[in-house]
A = this chain, B = another copy of it.
Amino acid sequence: MHIITRNHKHLADRLVGRRKQFTKGCRIVLEALKNTQGTPSAQDIALQLKNSLSNQAPGLTTVYRSLELLARLGIVQVVTFRDGERRYELISPGEHFHHLICEQCGKTTRISACIIDGLAQSISTEYSFMVKSHVLELYGLCKQCNDSTNNAIPNLLVEVS
């Protein structure tokens, strides 16, 4: 955590207005994200910290604020699920990931390559739209859930893929 903090310290120079420093809260949240696999929500993180640090744990408010700072610094990616839930995961600045999201068990799997970046360019010119970022998430069933629901009640939803 110290390493990450030091590596990205200069990024804080870009910040104006709001929270400006890697504060204690930030460091704790960053550490928590490093020690978590998966893509936890702010509340997940706050709860986990409460469990491990009890009264030393930063409050929910601070967790939210820290995540917001880390996202602004580019070392945390915010993943908004289709139901509006927001989850967070560590990245390197400039990186970003897309995910396979299992609709049954909620597990998220990163897709390594981004297939959109090239597309964004052609869109930019075709639609005169300045593309700055994008969201791509694939929903479905992971192997385990797919196997175990094969002989269950058929899904009557009309898929709007």
Contact = CB atoms under 8 A, between A and B. Distances in A.
A119 B130 contact: no
**Band of interface residues on A:** 35 or more
A157 interface: yes
A159 B130 contact: no
A3 interface: no
A152 interface: no
A1 interface: no
Count the copies.
2
Nearest to A124: B140
B160 A71 contact: yes
Interface in A128-161: 128-143, 146, 156-161
B156 A16 contact: yes
Interface string A86-104: 1000010100100010110
A120 B159 CA distance: 15
